[in-house]
A and B are shown apart, each in its own frame.
Chain A
């Protein structure tokens, strides 16, 4: 593999990893606060792709993007209100089954509304612009994705670490009951977590689908799983962990495909998951003392 190909693949990997990282943040935040694998998160990401397709068909792109993002955020908060909130005191298995049910519903709904045929994702002006650096050619979106990911992560870390709502989020994830006693509005804090997660998923979808060019009803389920693995890899509950996990999975997947083992690229993610769970269940950046596993 020549250096140029290597750099080319690395860029693709970093870009894919950036999109994964944005979705993984959603998983890690929801898990941190509700102790729930939000199986519907990947499908939310898929729906975001469809929202963009329909938004851009009727309005200019600079309006369409906020509209699509707003749609995704509303859907994400709606899912939490409808499917998770009534089960707040139910056993964890019930909530997880509810999440699986939502995922199933979104997939079926997408198949019904938009048919199972992949739809072309619109091109946002400028994003697909080809850039050439010597022997390496790449598009603007490939460069933009990781930068945007890093910027958003820094903003998010400030939000969680420095603001009042961030403090509430940390309190709820540490001890829900105690934070309720301290006067924190637990339900609205959870809603805010879903708001942030869905927002990042919508931005991730924008970048991911611009690169992939098609959306179909199941295009969210496998990336969703992979991003959950990324969140576990980085240590679930940890935002920088999720971002680094996302980059690791994106880069390794790209290289596995580049070496010609594309059949195994999905299996690799899960093997990585199992190794991590066995060797270091708290992940790379997880808090050590806990009974999570």
Chain B
């Protein structure tokens, strides 16, 4: 908790400094400066965005769309910082309240924790899909690698015999144990390593071929994990259980905040600008001296690293995993969050993750039989929720293609500007 608060304060301090004009491919110094400022606010965006989805809030990001030209200094920096602090403090208090009364609010806590997992996964997918323009459908596979690494290494050694009672455990693994954080990072690294290997052939492909090839790889990873030869490591179809879970609601939130901050930092660096250049026009980017393959590979590998972390978090959240968890549906779920939030907006992904995970729970009443005036309406029975949910998603895809945030990041100026315009119907001078 203290860490989170510190990050927010330091980020606000940097906000002022971060508002430096920086060219698209200018000297490393200026873009790095802008980067740190943005990254700091990214953290607070993650922290503030955790308001259970009922109050989408985030930090103000200077020159938030990441474009080079920043015409004038924003006059509202101080107000925005203040708002960020208030929002963050509110969220932290709310979380602390949930944590204190964990017993009564276990349901809300589990939704928030799951949302935190999906925040990381969606931000990672957005990095590669929304910012680099590579339509990759490999999320589930990379998450599986992260989840299995974390699970295998963190199951307490004394219960391992019980977990592996059917197949036995590989001797080298028997006493190999790691703290959760180390295991998650290792999971991310292994996942990134796989991505680096896969990327060499696959990233030469374009759009839909890339999608289907990454999807294929994700299935191959799943098959390998489920293969009989891996039984002594992955426990085959029995799956792994007894994974140590999160003990505190702040753990997943802080991990998610760090990951999102890192992704924001990357996106505001010269690498991030290179990603966007590749997305917008490959030929022009190449003409500007960007190495296409290297840039794509970098984005793909980094995204997979965070996918691996998200997988590790998922393992800790679910506490028991098996390979069926990581079917194509998992990738689709993450993709739909990205689409709803807006392809090319990290804050959008954060809002999307909380909305979708929260929404699935709010729509739960659709699965229960409904009786109005003594007449039972036959539509309401198990499964109806998912139908409504997928219809809503189709509506978003068809009629609201930009999603919640489009390709903009959240900013207080926009949010307040919206209220402003609503109040004064003829006004609307702002932005």
Interface residues of A (CB under 8 A from B): 35-37, 82-83, 86-87, 90, 92-94, 96-98, 100-102, 104-105, 108-109, 111-113, 115, 221, 225, 228-229, 232, 263-264, 266-267, 269-271, 273-274, 277-278, 281, 292-293
Residues from chain A with a CB closer than 8 A to the CB of B391 are 105
Q: A87-B398, A101-B397, A267-B220 are in contact. Are A277 and B209 (CB under 8 A)?
A: yes
Residues from chain A with a CB closer than 8 A to the CB of B387 are 105, 108-109, 112
Asked if A232 contacts B212 (CB within 8 A), the reply is: yes
Asked if B386 contacts A112 (CB within 8 A), the reply is: yes
Which residue of chain A has its CB nearest to the CB of B389?
A108
Quick one: which of A101, A221, A229, A264 contacts B390, CB cutoff 8 A? A101
Quick one: which of B206, B335, B343, B398 contacts A83, CB cutoff 8 A? B398
Please choose the segment from B64-72, B118-126, B223-231 that sits at the chain A interface, where 4 or more of its residues have CB less than 8 A away.
B223-231
B166 to chain A, nearest CB (A): 16
Residues from chain B with a CB closer than 8 A to the CB of A271 are 216, 220
Residues from chain B with a CB closer than 8 A to the CB of A278 are 201, 204
How far, in angstroms, from A252 to B143 measured CA to CA in the complex? 30
Quick one: which of B216, B390, B397, B398 contacts A273, CB cutoff 8 A? B216
Is the C-beta of B215 less than 8 angstroms from some C-beta in chain A? yes
Instruction: Beyond the given A86-B399, A104-B329, A108-B383, please list 4 additional residue pairs across the A-B interface where CB-CB is below 8 A.
Output: A83-B394, A263-B227, A270-B217, A274-B202
Asked if B397 contacts A111 (CB within 8 A), the reply is: no
Asked if B383 contacts A263 (CB within 8 A), the reply is: no
Is the C-beta of B251 less than 8 angstroms from some C-beta in chain A? no
Asked if A270 contacts B216 (CB within 8 A), the reply is: yes
Asked if A264 contacts B389 (CB within 8 A), the reply is: no
Main secondary structure on A side of the interface with B: helix
Asked if B212 contacts A228 (CB within 8 A), the reply is: yes
Is the C-beta of B1 less than 8 angstroms from some C-beta in chain A? no
Is the C-beta of B211 less than 8 angstroms from some C-beta in chain A? yes
How far, in angstroms, from A92 to B135 measured CA to CA in the complex? 10
Is the C-beta of B174 less than 8 angstroms from some C-beta in chain A? no
How far, in angstroms, from A229 to B399 measured CA to CA in the complex? 31
Asked if B208 contacts A92 (CB within 8 A), the reply is: yes
How far, in angstroms, from A271 to B216 measured CA to CA in the complex? 8
Residues from chain A with a CB closer than 8 A to the CB of B397 are 94, 97-98, 101
Question: A-B pairs with the 3 shortest C-beta distances?
Answer: A270-B216, A112-B383, A267-B223
How far, in angstroms, from A109 to B207 measured CA to CA in the complex? 29
How far, in angstroms, from A278 to B202 measured CA to CA in the complex? 8
Interface residues of B (CB under 8 A from A): 129, 135, 201-202, 204-209, 211-213, 215-217, 219-220, 223-224, 226-228, 328-329, 332, 335-336, 339, 343, 381-384, 386-387, 389-391, 393-394, 397-399, 401
Among B135, B216, B217, B332, find the residue whose CB has the most chain A CB atoms closer than 10 A: B216
How far, in angstroms, from A293 to B212 measured CA to CA in the complex? 12
Asked if A111 contacts B206 (CB within 8 A), the reply is: no
A284 to chain B, nearest CB (A): 16
Residues from chain A with a CB closer than 8 A to the CB of B384 are 112
How far, in angstroms, from A36 to B228 measured CA to CA in the complex? 36
Quick one: which of A83, A232, A267 contacts B224, CB cutoff 8 A? A267
Residues from chain B with a CB closer than 8 A to the CB of A229 are 212, 216
Quick one: which of A92, A100, A263, A293 contacts B335, CB cutoff 8 A? A100
Which residue of chain A has its CB nearest to the CB of B331?
A100
Asked if B394 contacts A101 (CB within 8 A), the reply is: yes
19 contacts between A and B (CB under 8 A): A35-B208, A36-B208, A82-B398, A83-B398, A92-B208, A93-B207, A101-B397, A102-B394, A104-B390, A111-B383, A112-B382, A113-B383, A228-B212, A263-B223, A264-B227, A270-B219, A270-B220, A277-B201, A292-B206
B193 to chain A, nearest CB (A): 18
Which residue of chain B has its CB nearest to the CB of A111?
B383
Q: A37-B208, A274-B213 are in contact. Are A266 and B332 (CB under 8 A)?
A: no
How far, in angstroms, from A191 to B193 measured CA to CA in the complex? 45
Asked if B386 contacts A111 (CB within 8 A), the reply is: yes
Residues from chain B with a CB closer than 8 A to the CB of A100 are 332, 335
How far, in angstroms, from A225 to B224 measured CA to CA in the complex? 18
How far, in angstroms, from A277 to B401 measured CA to CA in the complex? 30
How far, in angstroms, from A108 to B204 measured CA to CA in the complex? 34
How far, in angstroms, from A230 to B219 measured CA to CA in the complex? 16
Asked if A266 contacts B223 (CB within 8 A), the reply is: yes
Which residue of chain A has its CB nearest to the CB of B394?
A101
Asked if B394 contacts A96 (CB within 8 A), the reply is: no
Which residue of chain A has its CB nearest to the CB of B129?
A93
Which residue of chain B has its CB nearest to the CB of A114?
B383
Quick one: which of B129, B205, B224, B227 contacts A293, CB cutoff 8 A? B205
B40 to chain A, nearest CB (A): 31
How far, in angstroms, from A266 to B397 measured CA to CA in the complex? 30
How far, in angstroms, from A87 to B389 measured CA to CA in the complex? 21
Residues from chain B with a CB closer than 8 A to the CB of A221 are 328
Residues from chain A with a CB closer than 8 A to the CB of B208 are 35-37, 92, 96
Which residue of chain A has its CB nearest to the CB of B399?
A86
Asked if A274 contacts B217 (CB within 8 A), the reply is: yes
Quick one: which of A36, A108, A269, A281 contacts B209, CB cutoff 8 A? A281
How far, in angstroms, from A113 to B379 measured CA to CA in the complex? 10
How far, in angstroms, from A115 to B383 measured CA to CA in the complex? 8
Asked if A37 contacts B211 (CB within 8 A), the reply is: yes
Asked if B223 contacts A273 (CB within 8 A), the reply is: no
How far, in angstroms, from A293 to B202 measured CA to CA in the complex? 11
A258 to chain B, nearest CB (A): 17
Which residue of chain A has its CB nearest to the CB of B207?
A92
Residues from chain B with a CB closer than 8 A to the CB of A35 are 208
Which residue of chain B has its CB nearest to the CB of A36?
B208
